[in-house]
Amino acid sequence: MLCESCHKRVASFHFTKIVNGQIEEHHLCDICAKENTDFDFDNQFSFNKLFTNLFGNNEIKEENLPDITCSNCGLSFKEFQETGKLGCAKCYDEFSLYLKPIVKSIHGHGRHRGKIPKSSRPKLNLIKEVEGLTTQLEDAVKKEEFERAAIIRDEIKKVKEKLQGIGSECND
């Protein structure tokens, strides 16, 4: 695709702009994009600034930061705040108390609600079903509805067996 401004070079910069509810798509080459006044290429985007602002909005100030370090990779929470990058998958667990409010402020909720691969849907649906049934089971026990609890327990067992069946199919 050619640049829509100069019509000479390949468009390598693609962006969508929304003005007064009207969506505009633009495709520019590097040179024309740098000349475009909609962008400020002199100020480099920084995840550090993004995360620092998110921490500020969630009232996690430097003096309130705990001295947490990931037991797997050794990254400290303060280092994460400075760089905006986690060191490993374990960091999510280690820093979860402080990451959850940030994720919630970005997404509006703390659970993944986006797309999932088609191949994972059956397994995830069964996991959610077990979670829902477990909540019902706990409720039935609290209300001392033991017959209902036994039925729910048996249903959980059936769903978990299906879940194990899906797990073994994935390992083949």
Task: Output the 3-class SS for 61-94.
Answer: CHHHCCCCECCCCCCEHHHHHHHCCCCCCHHHHH
Identify the domain containing residue 79 by its residue range: 47-107
| 113 falls within a domain | no
- Asked if residue 54 and residue 27 are part of one domain, the reply reads no
> How many structural domains does the chain have?
3
Q: Is 65 exposed, middle or buried (0-12, 13-18, 19+ CB in 10 A)?
A: middle
Dihedrals phi, psi of 73, to nearest 5 degrees: -110, -10
| 112 falls within a domain | no
- Asked if residue 56 and residue 38 are part of one domain, the reply reads no
Per residue in 119-170, pLDDT (tens digit) is 888 888 899 999 999 999 999 999 999 999 999 999 999 999 998 888 655 5
- Indicate whether 87 pLDDT > 70: yes
Strands 22-28 and 13-19: antiparallel
- Asked if residue 51 and residue 86 are part of one domain, the reply reads yes
Q: Output the pTM of the full model.
A: 0.39
Under DSSP, the state recorded for 48 is H
